[in-house]
Amino acid sequence: YQRRVRGVKEYQIENNLDPQQLQQEVNTYMWNFDKQKSEFKKKIESLSSAPDDDGWVTVSKNGKKNTVSSQGKSASVAKLNTETINRIKEKEQRKYKSNFYKFQRSEKKINHIEQLRQKFEEDKKRIEAMRQNRKFRPF
């Protein structure tokens, strides 16, 4: 029984590579990759900020992210915090319904109708008092 070598060791054996030489190749590859990526970003930024032949400027999704507000915090962070807080509150409200059971819904309707009747009675009393004082002028 012979154990099979896998991964980096297998690659080193197949290609007769020294570990230091392999590390050097990986480092040069990553350095070139990072360099190409940064050049690409610079090219995109220069193209997006410069007007084209017709005079139009391309608007990208990368705007000003860290504008400083009067409180010293960045405005986008403060806005993000309020938005996330509101989103969390909405999720909690959706999670817990106050009138889950049928009797709760019917009690809520009954209470609402009672409140409307009370307001109506109060309005009737107020209108009657205004009529007695002769200050009631509906139009």
- pLDDT cut 70: percent of the chain above it: 74
**CA–CA separation, 67 and 80 (whole Å):** 13
The residue among 61 and 29 whose pLDDT is bigger is 29
pTM for the full predicted model? 0.32
Yes or no: say if 128 and 134 are a contact pair by the CB < 8 Å rule. no
Residue 6 CA, chain-centre distance (Å), reads: 44
pLDDT tens digits, one per residue of 94-111: 777 777 788 988 999 999
Q: What is the pLDDT of residue 6?
A: 79
Q: Distances from the Cα of 127 to the Cαs of 110, 113, 114, 119, 123, in angstroms?
A: 26, 21, 20, 12, 6
Spell out the residues 6+ positions from residue 13 whose beta carbon is closer than 8 angstroms to its own: 5
Q: What is the pLDDT of residue 49?
A: 67
With 90 as the cut, is the pLDDT of residue 118 above it? yes
Q: Which two tokens stand for residue 10?
A: 């297998």
Helices 8-15 + 19-49 axis angle, to 10? 110
Q: What is the pLDDT of residue 110?
A: 95
Give the pLDDT band (50/70/90) at residue 36.
Answer: very high
Q: What is the mean pLDDT of residues 70-88?
A: 62
Q: What is the pLDDT of residue 89?
A: 79
Range name among 19-23, 68-72, 134-138 with the lowest pLDDT average:
68-72
**CA–CA separation, 55 and 82 (whole Å):** 38
